[in-house]
A and B are shown apart, each in its own frame.
Chain A
Amino acid sequence: MGFVRKYIFSTDHKVIGIQYIVTAIIMAFAGGGLAGLIRLQLSNPDGAIVSPETYLSLVTMHGTIMVFFVVSLGLVSGLGNFLIPLHVGARDMAYPLLNMLSYWTVVPACILMLLSFLAEGGAAAAGWTMYPPLSAVADSVPGSGMGTTLWLLSMALFIVSFTMGSLNFVATILNMRAPGLSMMRLPIVLWTYFISSILGLLSFPALTAAAIMLLFDRHLGTSFFLPAGMVFADHVLPNQGGTPLLFQHLFWFLGHPEVYVLVLPAIGVAFDVVATFTRRPPLGYRTTVYSLLLIAFLSMIVWAHHMFVTGMDPRVGKYFSVATVLITAPFGVLGVNLLLSLWKARMRFTVPMMFALGLISAIGAGGLGGLYLGTQTSDVYFHETYFVVGHFHLMIGTVTLLGTFAALYYWFPKMFGRHMSTALGKIHFWVTYPGMVAIFIMMHYQGLGGMLRRSYDPSVYDYNTPNLVLRLPITVIAFVVLAAQLVFVWNFFKSSIWGEKAPANPWDSASIEWQAASPPPHGNWGEAIPAVHRWPYDYRLPGASEEYLPQTTERA
């Protein structure tokens, strides 16, 4: 195989997985850099770093890039690609060619998204939620011109790519499992990838439909989302009859399941990392799987809790409120199972384990805020404040990133046959985890004080005076946290070349992927596909001769 076939246009799921991860790291520089700029603007006491229009572009692009091009690409597509075939004991994905295609579709999506900064008028500025009318009327704000067109094109490519990827994941997990590997013998992390792929498949079409209608409104002059009597730039728009709320419904029909698409795999990683480093099975395998399925189902019927303040009928609001609070039941089961898995355990405090523990605590903190936001009455107050910003950063920012890091430190030896530096890993953890939690908890306080999000200069409102005390601490910590990510990036690339050599199963894990060589060769398993005889959590079995029994060990 030539270099190009092996490393660039590769169909090997491991190479594609690593390509996704590296792409996500590159995009994280953009997303993180934008976060830095946002914080600089927000804590600059006098005068402006950027113009108000540019500020909105920064926020929009930060949100879009982080959600779709960092967490989705790194955690879901990247690690999913690397892990799924190994975990099901297959030689590759069900459709290797489609897999390559989905990666090479997302690359232009990334490029278009970044290019939109160069567009006339700047990047899209209607928020990562792209609500009309700002997004539907090209001359409403500068970023609504070419910038938004590029945003839409990029997202279209992203959706196509993500759909192809999810099809592959589902087909592989359902049909490529090694002999003896029933669904109920899959590690929990694979269940989370399976469920999140299905969720993605079923929810992205709503955004596709919304984007198509938005393109019609923008370029063909239709009025799907534009009501009568809108005035922009001194002229009345000819549109009539449309409703921007329709877009909000469609957007959140995707948007809410999407956060579960991101969060569930992180939780799955926590379950498996915890099992390996407590040397015992996670508590309640079955209840966990059923809870995951229930969460996935419920997540598709709660979308309008993002829209409590849109003037919906209070009875409809009540339904969405109740359904939302219902999710806390299965989510509580996950949390309890994770916590009880730690109960009185003798833990090995490795770097992946530390990130997994941090993640578990962030689920708790993030989930708590969710209760206040899911309740209609309190959300009316919290809506559009930094309480929301703090809340969702704890869930889709902190939980997912800590999960990604736990997974990368954990499976790195399998990816490259080398260890990452533990010392640098600990530095990374001890800055990132407390730092992120501190930043986002402080944002909750600002939100309690009524500080509005997407607001260019909060100091113009007198009531914000007490809230401004926190803005400098947040910014300083944010920059420290961002700098610590450079330590990670250095550790990642340095260790992939010069890291200490790792054996095939450095963590003494029982699950099947560690039975392959490190890094696994093309085709993963050499001569024969392994046969599976047990679930992935047989640690310290009473009466067993070994401390742990790999999934491939025959039953006595």
Chain B
Amino acid sequence: MSDATLQSDLAQQERARRTNEVTVLAVLAVVTMLFAAFTASYLIRRTGTDWGHIQLPSLVWVTTVVLALSSGTLELARKGRRGGWLGMTLALGLTFVVLQVLAWQSLAADGVFAASHPHSAFYYMLTGVHAVHVIGGIGALLVATKRPTFVGLCALYWHFVGLVWVWVLLVLKFL
């Protein structure tokens, strides 16, 4: 390969990387707006006369730890030790989703459904919408196992979705 084509090849790659970065940032903006809309709705709905808190299933603390760990393993994968860490992140991500489903089941077993209570309605909805974003992230990670350049972008999204989870928990617990 001549120097010139090598140069333009590098320029191409650099441009592709920047394009992907812009796109991921735009996606994060979209997700932010979505959860901002939910949060605003929550703030309005909690002024209703029938408002009150349900007991959050204790599993959510476990899932929080699982998601935090997955962010850690993904960082390790990004720092160049791809090997097992990417697989580990995937496994933790899947565990998170499964545990979220179990948490729903434990609530339902106690007779708390979406319609039982305005707070439980938000619980099911917010955790559900969040889980969909985690599943999207798992899809992206699967692509990243084939395309190493994606790992950094995936990490950006994945950490963000982790932060959204913390936000959702804070809202559900304290607001």
A interface residue numbers (CB < 8 A to B) = 94-95, 163, 167, 170-171, 174-176, 201-206, 208-210, 212-213, 216, 220-224, 228, 240-243, 246, 249-250, 253
Contact = CB atoms under 8 A, between A and B. Distances in A.
Contact of B114 (A175, A201, A203, A221): A221
B83 interface: no
B4 to A, nearest CB: 13
A174 B129 contact: no
B105 to A, nearest CB: 16
Contacts of A249: 40, 44
Contact count band on B:
20 to 34
A210 B45 CA distance: 13
B41 interface: yes
B15 interface: yes
Nearest to A98: B23
Dominant SS at the A interface? Answer: helix
A222 B22 contact: no
Contact of A243 (B34, B44, B129): B44
Interface stretch (B25-33, B96-104, B163-171): B25-33
Interface string B48-59: 111100000000
B150 to A, nearest CB: 13
B125 interface: yes
Contacts of B23: 94-95, 167, 170-171
Contact of A216 (B15, B40, B114): B114
A175 B36 CA distance: 28
A163 B50 CA distance: 36
B143 interface: no
B62 interface: no
Contacts of B44: 243, 246, 249
B6 interface: no
Contact of A223 (B36, B118, B124): B118
Contacts of B129: 212
B22 A175 contact: yes
A240 B38 CA distance: 19
Contact of B49 (A176, A201, A241): A241
A223 B38 CA distance: 15
Contacts of A175: 15, 18-19, 22
B28 to A, nearest CB: 11
Contact of B30 (A95, A174, A201): A201
A211 to B, nearest CB: 11
Contact of B37 (A210, A221, A241): A210
B115 interface: yes
Given A213-B125, A250-B41, A205 B30 contact: yes
A246 B18 contact: no
Interface in B28-86: 29-31, 33-34, 36-38, 40-41, 44-45, 48-51
B19 A176 contact: yes
A276 to B, nearest CB: 30
Contacts of A242: 45, 48, 118
B34 A240 contact: no
Contacts of B124: 216, 220
Chain A CB within 10 Å — which of B22, B31, B40, B41 has the most?
B41
A205 B34 contact: yes
A153 to B, nearest CB: 16
B34 A170 contact: no
A210 B41 CA distance: 9
A175 B136 CA distance: 24
Contacts of B51: 241
A240 B121 CA distance: 13
Of the listed residues B34, B51, B121, the one surrounded by the most CB atoms of chain A closer than 10 A to its CB is B121
30 contacts: A170-B26, A171-B22, A171-B23, A171-B26, A201-B26, A201-B30, A203-B33, A205-B34, A206-B33, A208-B37, A209-B41, A210-B37, A213-B41, A216-B121, A216-B124, A220-B124, A221-B115, A222-B114, A222-B118, A222-B125, A224-B41, A224-B121, A240-B49, A241-B50, A241-B51, A241-B118, A242-B118, A243-B45, A243-B48, A249-B44
Interface centre among A94, A202, A205, A208 (most CB of B within 10 A): A205
A246 B34 CA distance: 15
A221 B115 CA distance: 5
Given A174-B22, A241-B49, 13 more contacts: A170-B22, A170-B26, A202-B29, A204-B30, A205-B34, A216-B121, A216-B124, A216-B125, A222-B118, A224-B45, A228-B50, A242-B45, A250-B37
Contacts of A205: 30-31, 33-34, 36-37
Given A174-B22, A213-B41, A202 B33 contact: yes
A222 B26 contact: no
B104 to A, nearest CB: 12
Contacts of A203: 33
A148 to B, nearest CB: 19
B115 A171 contact: no
Given A212-B129, A220-B114, A243-B44, A206 B22 contact: no
B71 to A, nearest CB: 24
